[in-house]
Structure 1
Amino acid sequence: MPQRSNEDSTTPLHSPQHGTKKATIISEYHASDSKNKGARTELADLVMVKYKCQSNGVPITVTAGSTLPLVSGTSKDAELGGYDPFEHRRVSHPTSDMETLIHLLKGSLGTGILAMPLAFKKAGLSFGLVATCIIGVICTYCIHILVKCAHILCRRMKIPTLGFADVAEVAFLAGPPSFQRFSNTARGVVNTFLVIDLIGCCCVYIVFVSRNMKDVVDQYLSSPLDLQWYMLGLLPFLICMNLIRNLKYLAPFSMIANLLVGASITICFWYIFQDLPSMDTRENFSTFEELPLFFGTAIFALEGIGVVMPLENNMKKPNHFTGCPSVLTFGMGMVVSLYCAVGFFGFLKYGDDTEGSITLNLCKSDLLAQSVKLMIA
């Protein structure tokens, strides 16, 4: 590391010389960055100006940046010391651990759980059980890595919160110089895949809710309505729900939804455990050709990474989200266990007759089965 001159070492932290040097660095960064074709973000400005001020000898206290260099390695003690992003978060209505757990369960328990028996049909009884547990562990571990990386970058850059795309952008900006030019690309890629994922999930939910409502209402109508009318009828309710942007106010709705899903799964288990056949009647492994269908269904059912960072950023005690025990491990443990149980016993019950949704295997004229469809919807 180059040594500073005596003149630099004796210059006060807030002297005009340092202020001039900082202003020069910032202007040079903006001038050089204007030549790039990619769009510059405010977060990139913040990170790059801090890094350039550090490397040019401007005191960290002047830049209000991190006391840790972005490129060179740092010890674990230095990484954890100093700035605490949790103390600087200003959330108007923070959520408790229980409310965060409720939102996590709601974000993970969806229509995918009803398709798990079909997924086990594509994989086999034993293989499906083991593979679902492994996928659940991998998903939980990846979420843990994402949140931990966000915490480290928040401490380095003295930023209270980071979103999913922000983590990707700052990670590239804090990396080697050759990777910093791709920070905007990383942010765009993450946002693109998040949009695709969430739009796909929303489409599945709208179709699923509309179809279940149609199956029940058609039993009492002389001339059944088209599916599109049910989708149109759902639109006002969906718009009103999406106008609620505060997770604190959404917690009661998530709790009600979790109770309805729990009641529906309980009723499904009541049907499943009636005259349950022996495990010997089901194959333990299907064919390799059908395994992609299993993995696609299982990952769709268990994946809920899009809700992770908003939940963690709005917690009253964010350090309780990860670790062991934690909100994440407890919530994902419940989710994976429930998915394994529904898939295992659902396929054991219906075998080759297993439908795309377990509700389709229930008697349509039975009022209890109809209540399951309405509660799930």
Structure 2
Amino acid sequence: MVMERGASSNNCGENSPLLPAYRHKREELLSSTWKSFGNILIAIVGAGVLGLPYTFKTTGWLTGIIMLGIVAALTYYCMMLLVWTKRKLENDGCVKMGSFGDVAFTISGSNGKLMVDFMIVLSQAGFCVSYLIFIGNSLSSILSKPEPMMNYNYLHFPSPSSNKFLLGEYKILGIAAKTLFIWIVFPFQIGLNAIRTLTHLAPLSIFADVVDIAAMVVVMVDDLVTYLNNRPDLQAFTSLSVIPYGIGVAIYAFEGIGMVLPLEVVADKKHKFGGILGLAILLITLTYGCFGTLGYFAFGAETRDIITLNLGKNLMTDMVQLALCINLFFTFPLMMTPVHEVMESRFNKGEYSLLLRSLSVLCTTLVAMLVPNFADFLSLVGSSVCCALGFVFPAIFHMIACRRDCPKIQLLADALIICFGTVFAVLGTTSSVKNILSPVVQN
């Protein structure tokens, strides 16, 4: 394997570890400000938004808004910690780094890189599996009977009450429609994942953003009309015991740490990347807050764990689900980018490989069809892996790389984030394991 000189946590001298091969041939096409903005939006916004109204019902709408704001601020700060750490190491003379794993290797060697790469593959591929499940079952539900039925393969969100009422699955020639639709998507995803650069994916990302925003606007308008007609009883606060659940859903909704460095690498105005990222997260937070609040305000105690289930089965619901499917369809290749980089770095010397990309998409597709009760698995991944990637590791790496130059207050902030992330990861993982081992089902 081709190797290049890397850096230790203190300097980039002769005793530094060697950074595994990465695409050091920098991509000639860089993303403009608008393309970077579009890619950031679609890298963060996903199916998680559909669970926010139920979360606001569970925690109370004001509690939900506060938690959403706190998680958004922490997410932005930790994403920037990762960017600052990368730039600090490069300024100290390290080779150019383009991924979370590169930073991990530079600071903690092969074991650190292996751990981060494993978590990134698990989390990013996990999100993409959930996208395929959502696409398959949403398209199936458009054809299904309107009566809700139990279907554990449908993407839903971890809830204390395990409310899992979902649309029944339609069959075509004896084959589950979900399975058929996922296989139909497969060859198109092979083509989209063959695209080499994030810059080329940007137009698709912007289109997907427009479709997603349009779908959310339709839902919010319907929610507002429903609220004005019904005026249900609402709660601003509920119980402290549901706080970990609310934070977990918020972390899942903002997850996108694995995409930060790849997007920063292809940004043409890197000095503006922090501002673009901040603006994108601010817009996402406002949208999430409005979507969650209006959804809960519309249906009150009757709010379902997926808000589209409250809309009934009609043409508007089908169009909203179709729009969300389009959004996730074009989000899939963007979210798989870190997975492709890890696989190509480890098995193809960092060079582009259509075969490895195709195999990654195939494995993701098979998991989407074969894994039963995927929601509990997704909850487990979100509570443990996403929390570690999103908070713990960025703070640890920043503390190690910048401990000699940073003010003590910033190092203290790093330590607090590490403690918060670790405690919540333990609590969230424990809760998820309990749900998997002792599921509660309601009829």
Cα separation, partners in 2 of 1:351 and 1:223, compared to 1, 3 Å: closer
Q: 2:164 aligned with 1:228, yes or no?
A: no
Instruction: Give the corresponding residue for 1:102.
Output: 38
* Further displaced range: 273-282 or 299-308: 273-282
In the other structure, the counterpart of 1:217 is: 143
Task: Report sequence identity in percent.
Answer: 25
> Whole-Å Cα distance in 2 between the matches of residues 316 and 168 of structure 1?
24
Report the counterpart of residue 362 of structure 1 in structure 2. Answer: 311
Other-structure match for 1:307: 259
Residue 297 of structure 1: which of 249, 255, 258 is its match? 249
Q: 1:373 to 1:331 in 2, by over 3 A?
A: same
Which residues in structure 2 correspond to 1:72-91 (within 5 Å)? 90-91=26-27
Mapped pair 1:189 → 2:115: yes
Pick closer, same or farther for the CA change 1:132–1:46 going to 2, 3 Å.
closer
Give 1:143 shift: 0.5
In the alignment, is residue 47 of structure 1 matched against residue 7 of structure 2?
Answer: yes
Task: Give the one of 102, 112, 130 matched to 2:48.
Answer: 112
Structure 2 partner of 1:372: 320
**Structure 1 unaligned residues grouped into runs of 5+:** 1-39, 55-87, 173-182
Alpha-carbon contact 1:89-1:160 (below 8 Å) kept:
no
- Give, in whole Å, the separation in 2 of the partners of 1:93 and 1:289: 49
User: For the residues of structure 2 that align with 1:287 and 1:328, how far apart are their CA atoms?
Assistant: 33
Give yes or no for contact 1:106–1:257 (8 Å, CA) kept in 2: yes
Contact 2:101–2:116 under 8 Å retained in 1: yes
Supply the distance in 2 between the matched residues of 1:46 and 1:308 (Cα, whole angstroms): 21
Return the alpha-carbon distance in structure 1 between the equivalents of residues 170 and 100 of structure 2: 47
Displacement of 1:41: 8.5
Indicate yes or no: 2:62 matched with 1:126: yes
User: Could you tell me which of 288, 298, 306 is aligned with 1:339?
Assistant: 288
Distance 1:89 1:235 in 2: 30
TM-score (norm 1): 0.71
Over 3 Å counting, the alpha-carbon distance change for 1:360 and 1:318 in structure 2 is same
Q: Note the 1:16-95 alignment, pairs <5 A.
A: 42-43=3-4, 45-47=5-7, 51-52=13-14, 90-95=26-31
Which of 118, 135, 143 is the aligned partner of 2:71? 135
Shift of 1:161: 3.3
Offset, 1:340 = 1.0
Quickly say closer, same or farther: Cα 1:156–1:370, change in 2 above 3 A.
same
Is residue 154–residue 162 contact of structure 1 (8 Å, CA) maintained in 2? no
- Residues 76 and 278 of structure 2 are in contact (CA less than 8 Å); yes or no, is this contact kept in structure 1? yes
Distance 2:194 2:291 in 1: 33
With normalisation by structure 2, the TM-score equals 0.61
User: Which segment is superposed worse, 158-167 or 141-150?
Assistant: 158-167
The number of equivalent residue pairs is: 289
Structure 1: distance between partners of 2:32 and 2:71: 28
Alignment of 1:227-306 (within 5 A): 227-276=178-227, 281-306=233-258
Aligned-pair Cα RMSD in Å: 2.5
Larger radius of gyration: 1
